[in-house]
Structure 1
Amino acid sequence: MTPHSLRLLDGGMGRELQRIGAPFRQPEWSALALIEAPQFVLKAHQAFIAAGARIITTNSYAVVPFHIGDERFAQQGRALAERAGQLARQAAAESLEPVTVAGSLAPALGSYRPDLFAHQRSVAIHRELIAGLQAEVDVWLAETISSIAEVRAVVEALDAQPKPLWLSFTLLDDLDGAPRLRSLEPVADAVQAAVELGAQVVLFNCSQPEVMAAALRAAGAVIQRLGHTVELGVYANAFAPVGAQATANSTLLEIRQDLGPQAYLHWAQSWVEAGASVVGGCCGIGPEHIAQLHLHLLPPQQRRGQ
C-alpha cells in the first residue's frame, strides 16, 4: 500500500450537542438540534475544527425514520439533510485551513441491527438524504455499517455519483477470534466488498478501541492482496461493549471513564502504527480528544498555523 499523510476526522456530534446545551432527547437524538436550534450544530462543527479536525461529518446521521419518524422524514427529511450539509459547509468555509465535508449516511433502519435491514427501503431512505446533501459535501461517508448488504444498498442509492465513497464498518465488540462485523461477517470479506464497490477509504467506527487494530491489520492484508490504493481509518466510540441485540442511539449509553483524551491518544497511536491514515472519534469523543490527536499525532508542518 502507498503511505498516506495523516488526516483528522471530527468526533461524536450527539454527545457534543448535549454537552454544549443543545436540545437533545430520544428518539430524535442529534437531529433535534438540527430541527429546533441549528446554531448549536454550527457551534459543534466549529469546536471540532478549532480542535484540529480537517474532516467534518454532516449532522445527518439521525435524519432517518428510526429517529424522526416516518411522517416527519417524508415531509422534511430531504430539507433537514440539506440544512445539515449547509451548516457543515458554512463551518468549513469559515476555517482558515481547508476542511473536507463528509456527507453522513447512517444505517437507514437502525444502527447495530443488521437483522432489521431491508434493501429497497434502505435505498429509498438514502436517496432522500443524498438528494439533500449532495450540493454541499465533498465525499460520501456511509458509516456504522453492520453488514455487507448495507454497503450494497448505499452504493445502489448513490447510483455512480462521482464524489469519493468512504465506507465505515462497526465491529462486534469481541476480543476473541478474527474481527467481524455485527452481522458476524468477517472484516476481510467486508473490506474486499468495499474495495470492489469502489471505496477510496475504508474505516471502522462506533466500536471499542480495543477491537480496531486487528480490523486494520485484516483490512490491510486484503488491500495489499488486491493491489489497490485504499486508505484506512478509525473513529472509535467511548461506550462499554454493546450487546448483540442493542440498537445504537436507542438509549443514552454510559461513557467509559478510562477513555479520556490522553488514553484515547494512546489508542490512536496504535491505529496509525497499524496502517490508519484517517483518525477521529465517534460517540463520546469530543473536541478535547481531537485536540490531543492534533497536538501529538500530526507532524509540526500539518498543525494549525504552520
Structure 2
Amino acid sequence: MGLEKKSALLEDLIKKCGGCAVVDGGFATQLENHGAAINDPLWSAVSLIKNPELIKRVHMEYLEAGADIVVTSSYQATIPGFLSRGLAIEESESLLQKSVQLAVEARDRFWDKVSKVSGHSYNRALVAASIGSYGAYLADGSEYSGNYGENVSLDKLKDFHRRRLQVLVEAGPDLLAFETIPNKLEAQACVELLEEEKVQIPAWICFTSVDGEKAPSGESFEECLEALNKSNNIYAVGINCAPPQFIENLICKFAKLTKKAIVVYPNSGEVWDGKAKQWLPSQCFGDDEFEMFATKWRDLGAKLIGGCCRTTPSTIKAISKDLKRR
C-alpha cells in the first residue's frame, strides 16, 4: 500500500471520528502505574526486554479508553541504546520490530473483541511507530533544550535515525510518529531521511515547547516548519509533551504556518527535570480539565488529540468521551 492510500486510511479514520481522532496517552506513566521499574536510560523501552506482555496490556487499556491511534513503545528504543546494554544488533532490531508487533496484536485483539459486540462505537485503530528525538536517546533532557552541541550535524542526525527508521518501517505500522523534536535541524533530518529512504508511510512530526511560543532551541516554529511544509511524507505537525496551557496558542500559531493537519498531545502540566530525572511540583491538570481543553483544541483545528507524560487511560477516556459525543 502506497503513501497516498495509507494517508487515506488516516483521513478516513479522522472523518469517522467526527473530524478529530484520539491519540493514546502517557505510556511510561501507565507502565509505572503497573509497577514497572523504568528509571533507566532506555526508559519505557526497557519493558520490551523485561515485560513485553505488560506493553500489550497498556496498549489494550488505551484502546478500551477510546484511543483511535496507539503509539508504540519505541520512543527511547534505539539500536545504540540496546547495544550499550550488551545486546547484539540482531537482538536490538528484533526489539524494535517487537514494539510494532505488540501494538498491532493489541489492536487486532481489541478489534476482534468489539467487532463481536453489536452497537459498538469503536473504529479500527491505527498503529503509529514512535521515533524519539536524538535528545531522548541521550537521556540528558536535551529534547527540552535543543542543545545538541556543535558536533551534531544534519548528517549525524540522519545516520542516528536511519537504521531504526528502516526497521520500524519494515515492521509495518500504519503511521510514523517523530516525537519531542526540539530544533529545526532534527526536523529537517527527519524529513530528508523519509525522502531518502522512499518511505511509503505517512508521518507526523511533533515538537515540544518550554515557553509556549518557540521550539526549545529558541528557533521560531515558522523556521522549524519550513522543510515540513514541503514534504509529501508529513501528514501532520504539532506539539507533544508541553503543558496543556500552551496548546491553545500553539494551535493558533501552527494554523497560520501550515496546511498540514495539526496534532497535539500535551503532558499533564508537570515539569520534567531531565538532569535530576524527576518530575517537579507544578500545575497539574486533571481529566475534567483535559475534557474541556480537548473540545477547544478540536474547535481551533486540531485533527489528532491525545496525552503525553503523566496522562493515563482515564485522561484519554475523558477526551474520547467528549470529542465523540459532539
Task: Specify the TM-score bucket, using the shorter chain as the normaliser.
Answer: 0.7 to 0.9
Partners of 2:59 and 2:216 lie apart in 1 by 29
Is contact 1:146-1:170 (8 Å) kept?
yes
State the 1:279 CA deviation: 0.3
Partners of 1:258 and 1:107 lie apart in 2 by 25
Match for residue 267 of structure 2 among 237, 244, 262: 237
Residues 100-119 of structure 1 show CA distances to partners (whole Å, capped at 9, x for unaligned) of: 11111111243224221443
Matches within 5 A, 1:157-172: 157-158=193-194, 159-172=197-210
Residues 60-83 of structure 1 show CA distances to partners (whole Å, capped at 9, x for unaligned) of: 011136865646476343221111
Match for residue 213 of structure 1 among 248, 252, 256: 248
* Residue 200 (structure 1) aligned with residue 235 (structure 2): yes
State the 1:124 CA deviation: 2.4
Which moves more between the two structures, 275-284 or 111-120? 111-120
Partner of 2:214: 180
Which moves more between the two structures, 192-201 or 253-262? 253-262
Partner of 1:122: 157
* Residue 274 (structure 1) aligned with residue 306 (structure 2): no
How many residues are treated as equivalent by the alignment? 286
Report the CA distance shift for 1:153/1:55 in structure 2 as closer, same or farther (over 3 A).
same
Give me the CA root mean square deviation: 2.4
Partner of 1:48: 62
Report the CA distance shift for 1:215/1:193 in structure 2 as closer, same or farther (over 3 A).
farther
TM-score (norm 1): 0.85
Partners of 2:126 and 2:296 lie apart in 1 by 24
Partners of 2:37 and 2:88 lie apart in 1 by 22
Matches within 5 A, 1:1-306: 5-64=19-78, 68=82, 70=84, 72=86, 75=89, 76-96=91-111, 97-110=123-136, 111-116=143-148, 117-134=152-169, 135-158=171-194, 159-172=197-210, 174=211, 179-198=213-232, 199-223=234-258, 228=259, 230-241=260-271, 247=274, 251-254=277-280, 258-299=284-325
**Stretches of structure 2 lacking an aligned partner (at least 5 in a row):** 1-10, 112-122, 137-142
Partners of 1:191 and 1:277 lie apart in 2 by 17
* Corresponding residue SS for 2:292: helix
Partners of 1:256 and 1:94 lie apart in 2 by 38
Which moves more between the two structures, 65-74 or 92-101? 65-74
Which moves more between the two structures, 16-25 or 85-94? 16-25
Residues 182-233 of structure 1 show CA distances to partners (whole Å, capped at 9, x for unaligned) of: 011112222333211332111211111111111111111122xxxx4x2112
Is contact 2:270-2:284 (8 Å) kept?
no
**Stretches of structure 1 lacking an aligned partner (at least 5 in a row):** 301-306
* Corresponding residue SS for 1:207: coil
Q: Tell me which amino acid in the other structure corresponds to 1:235.
A: Y
Partners of 2:191 and 2:320 lie apart in 1 by 32
Partners of 1:222 and 1:105 lie apart in 2 by 24
Partners of 2:281 and 2:105 lie apart in 1 by 30
Partners of 2:283 and 2:218 lie apart in 1 by 28
Partners of 1:73 and 1:293 lie apart in 2 by 39
Is contact 1:89-1:136 (8 Å) kept?
no
Is contact 2:215-2:221 (8 Å) kept?
yes
Partners of 2:156 and 2:93 lie apart in 1 by 15
TM-score (norm 2): 0.80
Is contact 1:23-1:36 (8 Å) kept?
no
Residues 246-279 of structure 1 show CA distances to partners (whole Å, capped at 9, x for unaligned) of: 538x713147563111122222222112211100
Partners of 2:144 and 2:29 lie apart in 1 by 18
